[in-house]
Amino acid sequence: MLIESMRDIGYSLETALADIIDNSITAKARCIRLLADTTSPDPSLAILDDGEGMTEDKLLAAMRPGSRNPLETREQDDLGRFGLGLKTASFSQCRMLTVASRRDGITCCARWNLDEVARTNQWLVEFLDDFTQIPWIDELGSSGTLVIWEALDRLVEGDGSDARSAFVSRIDDAAEHLELVFHRYLAGERGISKVALFLNGRQLEPFDPFHSSHPATQAGPVEKIKSGGQEVEIQTFTLPHHKKDPVEWERYAGKAGYLKNQGFYVYRGKRLIIHGTWFGLARQKELTKLARVRIDMPNGMDADWKIDVKKASAQPPYHVRERLRRIIETIGATSRRVYTARGRRLASDSRLPVWQRMQSGNEISYCLNPEHPVFADFAGRLPDDLKTDFMRVLEMAATSIPIDALFADISANPEQVSGSEMADDTLVHIVATTFAALRASGIDPEDAMQMMRATEPFRENWSVVSDELNRLLERCSDE
């Protein structure tokens, strides 16, 4: 009964695999291979490493649920805590767990078969002498460990081809997640040894959620919070605006998208535990969606941070929460600036705004600027009775901007939202009218050109606009 309940403590395939990979990293493996047999009648999945391996005594201890005391202090680079992971992670996915290990040239192999445990009602782990039937056993190197999951009742549901392809895609999804969880090990950095991770021969690539190599990513300073002789390190990142990174924008959004992936990324021993949450200290808002904060904690603070058996959740201790709250406020401001800086330019930077942004009290509204030379010129050529009508037309257009739809589109797919293209003859007309109006107000031609260069829609269409302006300038000098 206990073992059946243990199967349901909430692992997913990726958290289960990550728990097994933790063990390999702790055993100083440099190369870890996920081996999946998705085609045979009895599909199986294995994790093979080239780490230190285990002696028979150690393997026996390792197979025991609760093999070590969670209160014990562990080596700094030990990713384990509870003495449970190997068993709980495996049983969450399979009914038969076989572990073969080689150390000092000696190979040993042990197996938990849940059907046997249920049948005999005894906690009997089996030690095998004949290794010939063990899949992938020939792949073990001079030292290392091979963890094999068979009887995958949770992973392969049914015999049909649909069940098989679902199995394959679950493994692929899990692999993608592992590229995030272990990205620092896959990329290598100071203080840890680089690890290569393969899925059936395909090498997995690190996925750095902070996009820290991009020049437009804004990284804050590293902050340290000390408590009880231990140190937590925090660094904030604001990812590039999509205009600065159109090529990779989608990739860095992650599956859940920027909005859901904003927040803290907590690493324990440089391995990601939890991400995309503000721990209830702030809401995940559109304006802070580019903010991601890296928190590095050592394994000695597991109890303070309430690390769970699956290594998939954590809660910051009380004394850290206040500091985190203040960090959210500052990073919120940076992330917001990436967006509002663009908004502001449209509204006020230009000296010839088509649109005006009006703020009164808490209300912000946008209206068309009747003094824009193109509007003013047109209104000036209308008889008085039509002037009022024209102003009403402008007002109607401005007050019916589909704000909600725009906001929804921009938040979902900002890169797909753009202004409509302007026809060349319209542009030429606007250039001529604006230029004439500026000249009429006493601005000399060169200055008028510079003003227009800084203003939309001229800036965006500058090659057409500058040709037209040069023609107009020539005409000025002829006169």
Ligand X SMILES: Nc1ncnc2c1ncn2[C@@H]1O[C@H](COP(=O)(O)OP(=O)(O)OP(=O)(O)O)[C@@H](O)[C@H]1O
Residues that bind ligand X (CB under 6 A): 19, 22-24, 27, 49, 51-52, 54, 62, 67-68, 80-87, 145
Residue 135: closest CA among 156, 116, 152: 152
**Binding-site partner at residue 27 among ligand X, Mg ion, none, CB < 5 to 8 Å by type:** ligand X
Strand residues in 269-339 grouped as ranges (E): 271-277, 291-297
What's the closest the beta carbon of residue 129 comes to ligand X, in angstroms?
Answer: 21
Q: Is 80 in the site for Mg ion (CB under 5 A)?
A: yes
Shortest distance in whole angstroms from residue 295 CB to ligand X: 19
SS3 317: coil
The beta-strand segments (E) located in 269-404 are 271-277, 291-297, 355-360, 363-368
* Shortest distance in whole angstroms from residue 31 CB to ligand X: 12
Partner whose binding site includes residue 62, from ligand X, Mg ion, none (CB under 5 to 8 Å by kind): ligand X
Using CB distances below 5 to 8 A depending on partner kind, what does residue 24 bind out of Mg ion, ligand X, none?
ligand X
Q: How many CB atoms lie within 10 A of CB 42?
A: 11
User: Please, what is the minimum distance in Å from the beta carbon of residue 140 to Mg ion?
Assistant: 19
Q: Where are the alpha helices (H) located in 54-95, listed in sequence order?
A: 56-63, 85-93
Quick one: three-class SS letters along 194-225? CCEEEECCEECCCCCCCCCCCCCCEECCCEEE
Q: Select 24 or 238, whichever has its Cβ closest to ligand X.
A: 24
Q: Which is nearer to ligand X, 51 or 276 (CB)?
A: 51
Give residues 15-44 in contact with Mg ion (rule: CB under 5 A). 23
Q: Toward ligand X, which CB reaches closer, 52 or 150? A: 52
- Give the integer Cα–Cα distance in Å for 285 and 282: 8
Name the binder of 51 from Mg ion, ligand X, none, CB < 5-8 A by kind: ligand X
Q: Which span sits near Mg ion by CB under 5 A: 76-84, 298-306, 327-335, 444-452?
A: 76-84
Which of Mg ion, ligand X, none does residue 83 bind to, with CB < 5 to 8 Å depending on kind?
A: ligand X
Q: Quick one: 46 or 338, whose CB is closer to ligand X?
A: 46
Nearest distance from residue 95's CB to ligand X, in Å?
17
Q: Does 53 bind Mg ion (CB under 5 A)?
A: no
Pairing of strands 106-113, 223-227: unpaired
Q: Give the C-alpha separation, 430 to 309, whole Å.
A: 66
How many whole angstroms from its chain centre is CA 108? 41
Mutual angle of helices 462-478 and 445-453, in 10-degree steps: 170
The nearest distance, CB 174 to Mg ion, in angstroms, is: 17
Q: Give the nearer residue to ligand X in terms of CB position, either 20 or 331.
A: 20
Contact between 85 and Mg ion by CB under 5 A: the answer reads yes
Kindly tell me which of 64 and 170 has the beta carbon lying closer to ligand X: 64
- 269 forms part of the interface with Mg ion (CB under 5 A): no
- Per DSSP (E only), the strands in 4-95 are 31-37, 44-49
CB of 280 to ligand X, least distance (A): 26
Q: Is 16 or 54 the residue whose CB approaches ligand X more closely? A: 54
Percentage helix, strand, coil, to 5, in the chain? 40, 20, 40
User: Cα–Cα distance between 409 and 415 in angstroms, integer?
Assistant: 9
Query: Which entry of ligand X, Mg ion, none binds 84, CB below 5 to 8 A by partner kind?
Result: ligand X
> Closest CB to ligand X among 78 and 233?
78
Residue 263 binds which entry of ligand X, Mg ion, none, CB below 5-8 Å type-dependent: none
CA angle 406, 411, 412 (to 5 degrees): 100
At position 180, the amino acid (one-letter code) is L
E strand or H helix that includes residue 169: helix 161-181
To the nearest 10 degrees (0 to 180), the angle between helices 445-453 and 424-440 is 130
Minimum CB distance to Mg ion, residue 145 (Å):
12
Amino acid at 201: G
- Shortest reach from residue 25's CB to ligand X, in Å: 9
Of 73-81, 102-110, 119-127, 229-237, the segment contacting Mg ion by CB under 5 A is 73-81
**CB-nearer residue toward Mg ion: 25 or 155:** 25
Distance CA 371, CA 350 (A): 13
Q: Which residues bind Mg ion (CB under 5 A)?
A: 23, 80, 85
